[in-house]
């Protein structure tokens, strides 16, 4: 069993517990009352094709690194990200390995005016209603975790609920599946979720398979501004950053630095294209 398989087992167990307390009908009633989702696709495209947008993450822990930051006030951290120019906030809601929660999602949603990503392992339709009920504008679909039929069903449900999907890939065949789906926000996670190994060069290797009419998101492997520049130099239009921001001590300034580094490199990439 891979690390991804093990995580999903726990996700399903925790999901069953939540379903015992809140029915799907209750979630649907709540969804009818929440404000419409913000347009994450527009936010991630940015004001200019030369910009590299930052999805800044509220992330307490990870399976590979363990505890990263206590984050006693996720709303405060999210507001600091927004002040730095983040295009969206990613909130981990997986409990066992990432120490996240839907409470974190609620706190962040109330604190910022930009799109919020519910970052979790989506394996059941209930989770999508749950995400929208808690104010999410964007959800993560991991191609490696879903067969074609389920991926399509989840993708369609995401849009029926007014949200956008960040469709995460790790290999050429997964990018092919994302493109066939019609995904407009495609992520390349340079962390192999089956082994947790990180290889930043994987983004460059996969860049040739990525459609230029989609928002291309580089995920994982960012520890400094140069990493953002490297991704941008191979076509990334956005980066998703967690650990480097929660440990920076100056999240607002870190987001600004990442955006600046990305802008310079992406200008050079576009000029050479």
Active-site entry in 94, 168, 174, 243: 168
Task: Assess whether 168 carries a catalytic annotation.
Answer: yes
Active-site entry in 90, 220, 233, 248: 220
Active-site entry in 219, 233, 243, 248: 219
CA-derived radius of gyration, the chain: 17
Active-site entry in 50, 53, 56, 59: 59
Task: Assess whether 219 carries a catalytic annotation.
Answer: yes
Q: What is the DSSP letter of 195?
A: T
Task: Assess whether 267 carries a catalytic annotation.
Answer: no
Task: Assess whether 119 carries a catalytic annotation.
Answer: yes
SS3 168: strand
SS3 212: coil
Active-site entry in 50, 53, 57, 82: 57
Q: Cα–Cα distances in Å, from 169 out to 10, 128, 140, 173, 216?
A: 22, 20, 11, 9, 11
Sign of CA dihedral 119, 124, 126, 132: positive
The residues pairing with 188 across neighbouring beta strands, listed in sequence order, are 169, 218
Q: Do residues 57 and 119 touch, judged by C-beta distance below 8 A? A: yes
Active-site entry in 56, 119, 164, 202: 119
Task: Assess whether 256 carries a catalytic annotation.
Answer: no
Task: Assess whether 189 carries a catalytic annotation.
Answer: yes
Selection from 79, 83, 57, 76 nearest residue 68 by Cα:
57
Q: Do residues 158 and 141 touch, judged by C-beta distance below 8 A? A: yes
Helices vs. strands in the chain: H and E counts, helices first: 12, 10
Active-site entry in 51, 189, 202, 248: 189
Catalytic residue numbers? 57, 59, 119, 168, 189, 219-220
């Amino acid at each position: 069993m891979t690390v991804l398989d093990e995580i999903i087992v726990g996700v399903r167990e925790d999901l069953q517990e939540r379903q015992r307390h809140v029915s799907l009908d209750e979630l649907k009633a709540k969804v009818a009352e929440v404000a419409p989702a913000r347009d994450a696709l527009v936010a991630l495209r940015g004001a200019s094709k030369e910009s590299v947008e930052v999805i800044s993450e509220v992330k307490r822990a990870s399976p590979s690194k363990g505890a990263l930051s206590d984050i006693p006030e996720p709303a405060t951290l999210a507001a600091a990200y927004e002040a730095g120019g983040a295009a969206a906030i990613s909130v981990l809601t997986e409990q066992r390995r990432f120490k996240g929660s839907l409470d974190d999602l609620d706190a962040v949603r109330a604190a910022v005016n930009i799109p919020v990503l519910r970052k979790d392992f989506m394996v059941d339709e209930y989770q999508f209603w749950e995400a929208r009920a808690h104010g999410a504008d964007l959800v993560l679909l991991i191609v490696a975790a879903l067969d074609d039929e389920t991926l399509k069903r989840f993708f369609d449900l995401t849009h029926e609920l007014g949200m956008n999907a960040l469709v995460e890939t790790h290999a050429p065949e997964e990018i092919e599946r994302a493109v066939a789906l019609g995904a407009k926000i495609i992520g390349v996670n340079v962390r192999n979720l089956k082994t947790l190994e990180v290889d930043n060069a994987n983004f460059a290797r996969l860049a040739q398979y990525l459609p230029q009419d989609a928002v291309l998101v580089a995920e994982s492997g960012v520890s400094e501004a140069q990493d953002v520049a490297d991704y941008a130099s191979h076509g990334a239009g956005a980066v998703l950053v967690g650990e480097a921001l929660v440990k920076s001590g100056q999240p607002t300034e870190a987001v600004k630095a990442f955006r600046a580094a990305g802008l310079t490199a992406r200008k050079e990439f576009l000029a050479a294209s």
